[in-house]
Amino acid sequence: MKSLPELLEEVKVRVVPTEREKEKVLTKVEKVRLRLERAFSKLPYPVEVLLQGSVAKDTWLKGEMDVDIFVRFSPELDKEEIASMTLSTVKKLFGERRCVERYAEHPFVTVRLLEMNVDVVPCYRSEKGEWKSATDRTPYHTDFVLSKLSKEEKNEARLIKRFAKGIGVYGAEIKVGGFSGLLCELMAHHFGSFLKMAEAMARLRLPLLIDPMKYYEGREDEARDAFGTGFIVVDPIDRKRNVAAAVTQTKLNEMVVASAAFLNGPSIRFFFPKVKDLSLGQLKRKILAEKRQLLAIQIPKIEAPPDILWGQLYSARDKVLTIMKNGDFDVMRIAAWTDEKRISLIVMELGTTILPHLKLKTGPPVTSPHTLRYLDLYAGGGAAAGPWIQEDRLFILARRRYTEAATYLKKAIKEYVKAGAIPSLVAKELESGAKILVGGEIPASLKGKDAGAFLSGFIDGRPEWMRSVWAESVRKKRT
């Protein structure tokens, strides 16, 4: 077995580009930047075209490079103007065919070039603290990382990023709710190394306050007043912002558990998980053999930028959870997923998809003014059994209107959509093309590797890293 330092060295070899590789990347990227700079210089406004993101910060993962080029406008222009100028200039330069219009806080363009994807993002030349758009901070962040992080820390940031990716907690987008690239870099700077970060996470007790610029030194209470008592990483260029704000409790705790598990039994699989997903056919057989009580809503194509789509999908998932609970269904777990193109899924596993016919219904306290009306309603035999008096209350056994989860969900969704209680984009599709599927119908109705991988992961229940690490350790024990 490899020692821990050997293991980390092996990961480093896989994530830190060599000097030669770095040079090659930077040369190529600079060419693209120059082409963009030339194109944007024709606009009637002074703009800067800046290399940003992990390539600029020297923290990108070997072979996983996404290039960010920011176009910085005067704060006097309005958001729509800078967005449309960016889109039209980029499209004109590279041809519409290569460009995908995308959206975070405001629109940006992804250009698909031969060897890389380049995001071209408009922003403002804002003074610190006078942010006009969320992307205005990025150039300052780049400066911070470049000037404050040592070369070693940048490479440790690469390890942290790879670990976060491996355990599925990388990315601040709504889909993930995890650790952004900047957050990984700030953690590398704060803890000094991946290993120290993992040790700190493994024994994490909230609140945790990381404050690179010591804005709140000696005034930690002030930070807690501003950010609450969770996981707080004060933005080094904006004392009012928590860089870790997007990290959900679940993702933070996945980091905690994975860190503890890694330290207890280091494995390359935390960084590079390998899982064998079941095929849709295998999934169907497994669901039927184990009588898994699954229920799914399959929703057709929803047209929206990813953050909007995932946001609405997660919110719909939470509504569905409420709906099912209101119908007395015991939802043991629920998840939502979309390929961002053709299909969205909300899948849940219930205690049972078929409820008993009768349920205990608590009536009024005996001393309530409603007692006589309650008797008038039920004492003549209107209930399946009762009313009876037990201690200080009346009770009946009532007949359920809906015993089948699928039937109930169909009806309840209609009512919720009608009442406007489900996010609009999902609601639209629910009304028209959505299908409700039970058990073995779910894999039978899915297509494609991605959907299969999602369902396989859901049925297994474990995060990928856990499946991968433990499969590895079982394999090792056997040999």
Q: Which residues form the interface with its own copies (CB under 8 A)?
A: 203-205, 249-250, 253-254, 256-257, 260-261, 264, 290-293, 330, 332-333, 349, 351-352, 356-360, 366-367, 371-372, 375, 379-381, 383-392, 394-397, 459-463, 466, 469-470, 473-474
Considering beta carbons, is residue 271 or 395 the nearer one to its own copies? 395
Q: Are 336 and 345 in contact (CB under 8 A)?
A: yes
Give the separation between CA 95 and CA 74, rounded to whole angstroms: 26
Considering beta carbons, is residue 122 or 457 the nearer one to its own copies? 457
Considering beta carbons, is residue 73 or 454 the nearer one to its own copies? 454
Query: Which residues lie below 8 Å from residue 335, measured CB to CB, with a gap of 6+?
Result: 317, 346, 347, 348, 454, 458
Considering beta carbons, is residue 325 or 462 the nearer one to its own copies? 462
* Smallest separation (angstroms) from its own copies to the CB of 267: 12
Q: Report the alpha-carbon angle 301-302-303, nearest 5.
A: 115
What the block records as the tokens of 90 is 């980029």
* Smallest separation (angstroms) from its own copies to the CB of 178: 13
* Dihedral sign computed on CA atoms, order 125, 127, 132, 134: positive
* Smallest separation (angstroms) from its own copies to the CB of 391: 5
* Smallest separation (angstroms) from its own copies to the CB of 471: 8
Q: How far is the CA of 332 from the CAs of 251, 416, 451, in angstroms?
A: 19, 22, 21
Considering beta carbons, is residue 387 or 423 the nearer one to its own copies? 387
Q: How far is the CA of 198 from the CAs of 141, 263, 403, in angstroms?
A: 24, 8, 48
* Smallest separation (angstroms) from its own copies to the CB of 282: 15
E-strand ranges in 279-330 read 294-300
Considering beta carbons, is residue 169 or 422 the nearer one to its own copies? 169
* Smallest separation (angstroms) from its own copies to the CB of 116: 34
* Smallest separation (angstroms) from its own copies to the CB of 212: 25
CA 25 remoteness from chain centre: 29
In the block, residue with structure tokens 């709504």: 174
Considering beta carbons, is residue 13 or 332 the nearer one to its own copies? 332
DSSP, residue by residue, 79-120: HHHHHHHHHHHHHHHH-GGGEEEEESSSEEEEEE-SS-EEEE
